[in-house]
Structure 1
Amino acid sequence: MKRIAVIGGTGMKQLVADADLGNSGYSISATDSLVAQTDYGDVPLEIMTLNASSESSGVKIFIVHRHHGDGKTTPPHLINYHANVKAAQACNPDVIVSIQSVGAIDPHFPPGIVGMAEHTLDFVSMPVTFSEEDAHHADMTHHYPSDLRDLLRPVLSAQSDEELTLDHVVSHVNGPQFETPAEIEAFARLGATAASMTISP
């Protein structure tokens, strides 16, 4: 059975509750929840088990709610990214997928369209590695795997009859406030096509 970990934002809870798999060939056979205990803190998880109507094996999806908190929504600048990543990793997934809502900068990336991050411009400087005691320099040249993006490309292309720009440069900005017009113009001049408060770690 394939195992997929999904790190999602504030809309994921409703997405799970209203899951409609349509004609995908899968049906939800079980749902569960648990708390993953990591060295960085506890993280609540939701688990969906999908059965396939064909001979292909089922899928187990582990959903990490990025903004989890004690009865509240954690603002972007206070999210415990290390705990979320470790919780997703503890599910022993075949792949980890992270989903964010972004603000579009490029007019060819209209609202309601799904794209993929190819590169980031990081203006937040949050720690993005787990090297706290010994220096380790992570290679960020291609930090979003091209092979995984190539798998997603035909699915995302089916969103529209028109040709879509699917690969984006996302500017990571510090929430919870939205960007100023001057900041958006500066990001665009630097090559950003979208902005997000949660994209980089």
Structure 2
Amino acid sequence: MSAVGVIGGTGMNQWPGLEIERRIVVDTPYGAASAPLLEGRVYGTRAIFLARHGEGHRIPPHCINYRANLWALHHAGVRSVIAIAAVGAMAPWFAPGEIAVPSDLIDYSYGREHTYSDGTPASELHHVEFTEPYAPALRRVLIDAAGRGGTSLSGEGVLAVTQGPRLESVAEIRRLVRDGCDMVGMTGMPEAALARELGLDYACLAVSVNWAAGVQGLGDIHAEIAQSIESGMSKVRAVLGAALPALSGR
């Protein structure tokens, strides 16, 4: 069994350096996961990787089977989940290409299967405690790992989770800023809540890939995203390289 799972998103649909030993196709009660679980060894540590958007990056955020994904990881023995998320930045301290470890979130998504307590005869009603959406101990591992590896973290902050797959309007970003958000992504929920329902430690490594609408200029956003993903994901891999050995003994 592997205790550590990594969910890769935009910019990390594959995990360079992961020596794959086994592809696991899990038959879940909620349908198929986005992709087979890839179990192997990386940085000398055993881990499981799941491509959130599927092999070939084909599944849009609102169509991801989040329940199947988290259930499959749990069933495979994962106990700690590190979610990689490409986000747009609203806070001035979070320039494209930088990474952060969010401390809180606000969910603006809708119409997604967001709980295992779905009212079916086989389900149970659970009111999970969600004061801190991200596991503090796991966040601390990531923050400490960045320090040990010499990788700078821009900060922490609040993640807004929007529906996607389109990007947001200027007025929408202004609303998110008024609500206290620092960054915006499309996949953080219901992923974090489902992990909590399953008793999994869950934390996010967020990569700033562009300035959100109206925050900075109107350049070629797709070129900005491509450039920022390349630099940001190298920092993500460095943090993971320092964090996974610390997690493997937990």
- For the superposition of Structure 1 and Structure 2, which TM-score range results when normalised by the shorter chain? 0.7 to 0.9
Residue 78 (str. 1) matches residue 63 (str. 2): yes
**Equivalent of 1:100 in 65, 68, 85:** 85
Cα offset for 1:159? Answer: 2.0
**CA 1:185–1:72 in 2, change beyond 3 Å: closer, same or farther?**
closer
**Equivalent of 1:36 in 7, 12, 26:** 26
Q: Partner letter of residue 68 of structure 1?
A: G
Partner of 1:64: 50
Whether the 8 Å CA contact 2:13–2:53 is kept in 1: the answer is no
Partner of 1:194: 183
**Equivalent of 2:118 in 109, 113, 132:** 132
Distance in 2, Cα, partners of 1:30 & 1:68: 17
Cα offset for 1:64? Answer: 1.1
Which protein has greater RCO, CA pairs closer than 8 Å, 6+ apart? 2
Partner of 1:22: none
Whether the 8 Å CA contact 1:3–1:61 is kept in 2: the answer is yes
**Equivalent of 2:151 in 144, 159, 164:** 159
For structure 1, which runs of at least 5 residues remain unmatched after alignment? 20-27, 53-58
Secondary structure at 1:86 match in 2: helix
Whether the 8 Å CA contact 1:7–1:84 is kept in 2: the answer is no
**CA 1:72–1:142 in 2, change beyond 3 Å: closer, same or farther?**
closer
Secondary structure at 1:48 match in 2: strand
Which deviations, in whole Å up to 9, do the C-alpha atoms of 1:119-164 show, x marking residues without a partner?
111111434321012543222211211111111112234323xxx5
Cα offset for 1:200? Answer: 1.6
Q: How many equivalent residue pairs?
A: 181
Whether the 8 Å CA contact 1:169–1:191 is kept in 2: the answer is yes
Q: Partner letter of residue 158 of structure 2?
A: V
Partner of 2:96: 111
Q: Per residue, is there more strand in 1 or in 2?
A: 1
Q: Partner letter of residue 161 of structure 2?
A: H
For structure 2, which runs of at least 5 residues remain unmatched after alignment? 191-250
Stretch of structure 1 that moved more, 38-47 or 82-91: 38-47
**Equivalent of 1:49 in 41, 50, 56:** 41
Whether the 8 Å CA contact 2:61–2:164 is kept in 1: the answer is yes
Q: Per residue, is there more helix in 1 or in 2?
A: 2
Distance in 2, Cα, partners of 1:38 & 1:144: 24
Q: Partner letter of residue 129 of structure 2?
A: D
Secondary structure at 1:31 match in 2: strand
Whether the 8 Å CA contact 2:9–2:53 is kept in 1: the answer is yes
Distance in 2, Cα, partners of 1:108 & 1:4: 30
So what's the TM-score if we normalise by structure 2? 0.66
Cα offset for 1:99? Answer: 1.2
Distance in 2, Cα, partners of 1:42 & 1:34: 12
Partner of 1:170: 159
- Give the RMSD, CA atoms, in angstroms: 2.2
So what's the TM-score if we normalise by structure 1? 0.80
Which deviations, in whole Å up to 9, do the C-alpha atoms of 1:38-82 show, x marking residues without a partner?
111223111222474xxxxxx22111111126x661111111000
Distance in 2, Cα, partners of 1:29 & 1:101: 24
Whether the 8 Å CA contact 2:22–2:39 is kept in 1: the answer is yes
